[in-house]
Structure 1
Amino acid sequence: MNKKIFYHLSHIDLDGYSCQLIMKYTPYEIKNYNANYGAEVKQKLEMILEAIKESNSEAYILITDLNLTVDESKWLDNQVSKLNEENKGVTLQLLDHHGTGEASSQKYDWYYLDTKRCATKITYDFARENYEIDEPSWMKKYVDVVNAVDLWIMEEEENFEMGKVCMRLVTETRELNRVMFADHDNNYKISLLHDAAKFIDHENAPIILDEEIHKLKKGFFKIDADGTLDNLATKYIVKLLGELKNTHTIYYKGYKGFLSYGLGNTSIIGNGFLLKYPEYDFIVDVSYRGTMSLRANNKVDVSQIAKEWADGGGHPNASGGRIIGFKEQYRYDKVKPQLQRIIDEKESVAGKLEYKQEGKN
């Protein structure tokens, strides 16, 4: 076995990302994953288990700021046991503070629950006790900030006010899609929190950070020349889309398209993509609820495609529709097959119609 790899699954709020910021200061190889509650938790755990199966390294599954139901805990415990029967060397540890996980915590020794500390503080204390950690000077103060706002300790006014700004920093950081660009989005949020932590010792730190947020965001996306945040983010995202061409390309009736998921802002980003990669005829973005947004640049009438795929419509270069029965996913590899089935069905029907028409002639 090679060195151990940490697979760190955490929540998608300030507390969750801050747990991952703490672990960033350990010397281990860490792969970060993030999830909200519900079906997304299991899908992300499935991704972790799949990664472990494909790896030759020992694994440490660390879950923070997420409580698991009894059924989820049982399933995960069984999955890890099976991996260890195959000599995968998997360690499992959950660190959380939500009381709804009490039943699971009483049943499994890997499920650590403490409702008096936020998950960031639990992770910080646990890391200091059990891992190697290269602790920067700001870390303890930052942990207290997160603890104050996450547990809503308003009497700690200084920490609470700074925590509110950090919380907004996370909730309003939506430029990157966390399904298509999971690693980049995680790095974006943790990088911003890392920058925010450096303001903690400043006088009037919450006010200063509040005024600096826009600059911090631009600094992350800036590659060369300056520009507005929207333009810098668009350029950055278009580049990422280009790196996904091998896995995200689709074809319909001879036209070449790009399939994105939950991208949003399709008019600006879609136009930027089609200008950057003129070999594509159209781009289609599917939202989490199954609505489609199609864009073209005078190479194909996407209103016709929208009509054929989902009884939608619009303009030749900008159209949309809704996929009936679409099931929300948190993994791109489960989205593409849903749309591919629609494409295959529509092309099959079109082929039959053309065959009948030829027969009449």
Structure 2
Amino acid sequence: MNHKIHHLSHTDLDGYGCQMVSAHYFNSIAFYNSNYGKEINECFNQILNNIQTSSLQKHVILITDLNLTMDQAKEFESKVSICDKEIMLFVLDHHKTGQECADAFEWYFLDSSRCATKITYDFFSALYGKNAKLSKFVDVVNAVDIWLENEPEFELGKVCMGLVSGAKEVNKVMFPEENSHYIFSLLTKAQEYFTCKDAHIALDDAIHNIKKQFFVTSTNNTLSNLVSAYNVILLTKNRERMQIMYKEYKGILTYNIGNVSVIGNDFLTANPDLDFFMDITSKKTISLRSNGKVDVSKIAAQIANGGGHHNASGGLLSNFKDAFIYDTIKSQVMSIIANKG
């Protein structure tokens, strides 16, 4: 296929399972992940922006395991039709609530008897050939996603489902490519246990080490410290894109980073020229850390009616509206700071 594929899928095991399948069959592919509602629209617009700026003329937008509303389907079809690039749009869905769209649009395929991963595998394997190892993975996902409790893969599917839902170590909004790579790595490693005796128990016992294997470099450490070190590397690599200002002070803005005390302090130690670390959450709360160069309790008080200590403070940005694209989040926070500065 001489097209660039843009694969948008859900954020659960089935959603990532669909992308594991497409990654097996194609090389020229970009991955995006979304929950339902407005987030789908934001991701779709991001895909269109990437297509518009691409040097390639031919593109495929593949949406899996996401139930579009009729308004979304109409909007997406309209936007694709007026784009000056050649775009094929198609949806592989298994949610009964998508029936209205499936009846109205020929590019919307729906089958509620299989999970989306199995639909995706059956679709591409019919064109490009079956794969025994991938087929086994698909059966595991299918057993748990449509809740086939009597299937032998069901308990293994439950463990894999928990593996994906608990993979919060790499932030999806700030680092979508790295997040996809992490989850694909976990699911690839998980398949090594599929042939073990009591495979679901063997995999469950191994999850902590599977995660550590991804993050460890030359020296072993606790998972928390390994994850912090990994995030510091990512943040440092992206610091120019993520830099914000408060008066004459330079800082970095993160979103739902988690473990702010550890990651924030480790980042500031590795980047001593920056003055503060700010994390904003989907609940509008902010956490601030400093390396002693600025009193973040004063920043918290001024922009977020908060406070705390010289090097560790927090507050609430009540007029912040949650978003799903990092640049949108950063623009909002910079505007809030400018208005209250």
- 1:139 corresponds to: 134
Q: Distance in 1 between matches of 2:7 and 2:295?
A: 44
Does residue 281 of structure 2 align to residue 282 of structure 1? no
Secondary structure, aligned partner of 2:278: strand
Q: Residue 234 of structure 1 contacts residue 268 of structure 1 at CA under 8 Å; is this kept in 2? A: yes
1:71-90 to structure 2, matched below 5 A, reads 71-83=71-83, 86=84, 88-90=85-87
Does residue 39 of structure 2 align to residue 54 of structure 1? no
Secondary structure, aligned partner of 1:198: helix
CA RMSD of aligned residues (A): 1.2
How big is the shift at 1:298?
1.1
* Bigger radius of gyration: 1
How big is the shift at 1:155?
1.1
Q: Deviations over 1:139-195 (max 9, x none)?
A: 112111111100111111x20011011011011111111000111111111111111
Match of 2:293 among 292, 295, 299: 299
Does residue 120 of structure 2 align to residue 126 of structure 1? no
- 2:99 corresponds to: 102
Code of the aligned partner of 1:123: T
Q: Distance in 1 between matches of 2:26 and 2:299?
A: 51
Code of the aligned partner of 1:138: K
Q: Distance in 1 between matches of 2:174 and 2:255?
A: 7
Q: Deviations over 1:329-358 (max 9, x none)?
A: 0001111111111222233xxxxxxxxxxx
- 2:229 corresponds to: 235
Code of the aligned partner of 2:141: V
TM-score by length of 2: 0.97
Q: Residue 104 of structure 1 contacts residue 111 of structure 1 at CA under 8 Å; is this kept in 2? A: yes
Q: Distance in 2 between matches of 1:346 and 1:148?
A: 53
Secondary structure, aligned partner of 1:33: strand
- 1:13 corresponds to: 12
- 2:252 corresponds to: 258
How big is the shift at 1:136?
4.4
Secondary structure, aligned partner of 1:259: strand
Q: Residue 154 of structure 1 contacts residue 160 of structure 1 at CA under 8 Å; is this kept in 2? A: yes
What count of residue pairs does the alignment treat as equivalent?
Answer: 340
- 1:29 corresponds to: 28
- 2:150 corresponds to: 155
TM-score by length of 1: 0.92
Q: Residue 138 of structure 1 contacts residue 200 of structure 1 at CA under 8 Å; is this kept in 2? A: no
Q: Distance in 2 between matches of 1:129 and 1:91?
A: 19
- 1:187 corresponds to: 181
- Quote the sequence identity (%): 46
How big is the shift at 1:138?
1.6
Q: Distance in 2 between matches of 1:27 and 1:65?
A: 19
Q: Residue 43 of structure 1 contacts residue 331 of structure 1 at CA under 8 Å; is this kept in 2? A: yes
- 2:40 corresponds to: 41
- 2:215 corresponds to: 221
Residue ranges of structure 2 left out of the alignment (5+ in a row): none
Does residue 214 of structure 2 align to residue 212 of structure 1? no
- 1:355 corresponds to: none
C-alpha distance 235-169 of structure 1, shift in aligned 2 (>3 A)? same
Secondary structure, aligned partner of 2:298: helix
Secondary structure, aligned partner of 1:284: strand
Match of 1:328 among 322, 325, 334: 322
- 1:175 corresponds to: 169
Q: Distance in 2 between matches of 1:101 and 1:254?
A: 52
Q: Distance in 2 between matches of 1:171 and 1:149?
A: 13
How big is the shift at 1:271?
0.4
Residue ranges of structure 1 left out of the alignment (5+ in a row): 348-361
Q: Distance in 2 between matches of 1:248 and 1:142?
A: 37
Q: Residue 289 of structure 1 contacts residue 327 of structure 1 at CA under 8 Å; is this kept in 2? A: no
Q: Residue 138 of structure 1 contacts residue 198 of structure 1 at CA under 8 Å; is this kept in 2? A: no
Q: Distance in 1 between matches of 2:242 and 2:136?
A: 43
Q: Distance in 1 between matches of 2:192 and 2:53?
A: 38
